[in-house]
Structure 1
């Protein structure tokens, strides 16, 4: 804690307010304060009268997760209901300070983390805030399994999804219940080419959102894409989307569809249960095949 800030606390007569900064994955930033006037520092404006408050922060010196909750009001000038429903605040970065509103250079960083579960109730929302140690709860390292553990195009896969033939931009021609998209034609791509792939929204009210593709079929003269869950954010006819090829994580797919076998992250030759149960024998070869 800054010595000047500490000295201000020790006076017994303080001019303190709380400020929160939220940065979404799309780069949009928001500033909130429980002070009755708008405050400014670090190039961000912290708006007053936004209805945002926070509960006590539970912190520790170990590796347990610091957590708290923020309560706020939904309004068109701050956090909008449609943005919450679209998932735009999921996983957003959150920073919280205790600030001397008479001199904003005097402040103490109280919390830094991300938004976890976010619930909406009427015209209000409640957001769970998770500290930086939350990331330590995520599994890391290699997994000994036959299918590939990489995500198509990530640092382990290294495949360039921008290669010709593996993605296509199209305007939405027809959409049903935010779940099923139809095109009159989508030439150059085999049936099921986009299954297990991804649909990114490039324009419209749902711009920046994405969904996972469950099925890709041809029915007569129509190409039909089924998503795993309805697309949030109001995807509409005329919006531009990007379809990315899908990968089923098999070695054969990696070799034949993507020509990327050198970066395959699975273990296709993992022994079967029969090999684990193999026993010594006096004649023949112990090949690891069936014991019968």
Structure 2
């Protein structure tokens, strides 16, 4: 334990290091002045208060909440609602604000559920042991469980990603300046934003038709004029895998496996 924690008058400040998935990293501290630790400046955010931090050696998922006012310009309500901070890595540490050279790690994890209300936020931080709650064995399914182009699918994505610019938008329907190469080529695919207010975000494509694409949800910000990257998609059916991609050998599904409805059948039914 650090000596400065055992003194009669402690000078403890809590710090949060947040690293988004797109590489943006910021630091916040409960102190009333900025603190620099290991080359990163932790901006003063006195309104940020954590719940009780509980650490254990068991297998139960560790979690805590951090609440406070949206006082930092680096974390805005619009970015939170847009999902820019979803899954961001968080490290919580205690420092001596009078001489911030030595730190004590209090925990870490990723940002889970985020709630904003009346200019204040509450974010759930989920520890590393929360990963143990995920299923470890895949369930069977008639559709393919691989993603188009990943290590299990093995379809080469070279030539299946194209850039275009958004000409107009009507809710979730976008009109582009370049038509699709084939019918519904981008259906079930992904759209990445390279400009405008949505820059850095991704959206799922429901279907495409000519020069229009229909997203599964409307864009968070005005998309007109933005540059986008479109990746072809797959509806994960065996017929599509074999006919369109010639990749049935890597199909990761069980289309002919009998389902539980087999139990309800009767002779001659």
Gaps of 5+ in 1: 280-289
Instruction: Tell me which residue corresponds to 2:130.
Output: 134
Counterpart CA distance in 2 for 1:99 and 1:184 is 53
Evaluate the alpha carbon distance shift between residue 206 and residue 20 of structure 1 in structure 2; reply closer, same or farther with a 3 A threshold.
same
Which range is displaced more, 52-61 or 21-30?
52-61
Instruction: Tell me which residue corresponds to 1:250.
Output: 237
Evaluate the alpha carbon distance shift between residue 167 and residue 100 of structure 1 in structure 2; reply closer, same or farther with a 3 A threshold.
same
With the length of structure 2 as denominator, give the TM-score of the two structures.
0.90
Q: How many correspondences in the alignment?
A: 269
Give the secondary-structure state (helix, strand or coil) at the position aligned to 1:172. Answer: strand
Counterpart CA distance in 1 for 2:258 and 2:36 is 61
Counterpart CA distance in 2 for 1:217 and 1:120 is 37
RMSD: 2.4
Q: Does 1:199 align with 2:188?
A: no
> Of the candidates 228, 241, 263, which is equivalent to residue 216 of structure 2?
228
Q: Which has the larger radius of gyration?
A: 1
Instruction: Tell me which residue corresponds to 1:158.
Output: 154
Gaps of 5+ in 2: none
> Of the candidates 10, 19, 22, which is equivalent to residue 14 of structure 1?
10
How far is the alpha carbon of 1:79 from its aligned partner?
1.2
Give the secondary-structure state (helix, strand or coil) at the position aligned to 2:223. Answer: coil
Runs of 4+ aligned residues of structure 1 deviating over 4 Å after TM superposition are 272-279
Counterpart CA distance in 1 for 2:167 and 2:12 is 54
Give the secondary-structure state (helix, strand or coil) at the position aligned to 2:8. Answer: coil
How far is the alpha carbon of 1:117 from its aligned partner?
0.9
Q: Does 1:42 align with 2:63?
A: no
How far is the alpha carbon of 1:291 from its aligned partner?
5.3
Q: Does 1:33 align with 2:25?
A: no
Evaluate the alpha carbon distance shift between residue 224 and residue 34 of structure 1 in structure 2; reply closer, same or farther with a 3 A threshold.
same
Which range is displaced more, 181-190 or 44-53?
181-190
> Of the candidates 49, 53, 57, which is equivalent to residue 57 of structure 1?
53
Instruction: Tell me which residue corresponds to 1:174.
Output: 168
Which range is displaced more, 257-266 or 239-248?
257-266
Evaluate the alpha carbon distance shift between residue 187 and residue 129 of structure 1 in structure 2; reply closer, same or farther with a 3 A threshold.
closer
With the length of structure 1 as denominator, give the TM-score of the two structures.
0.83
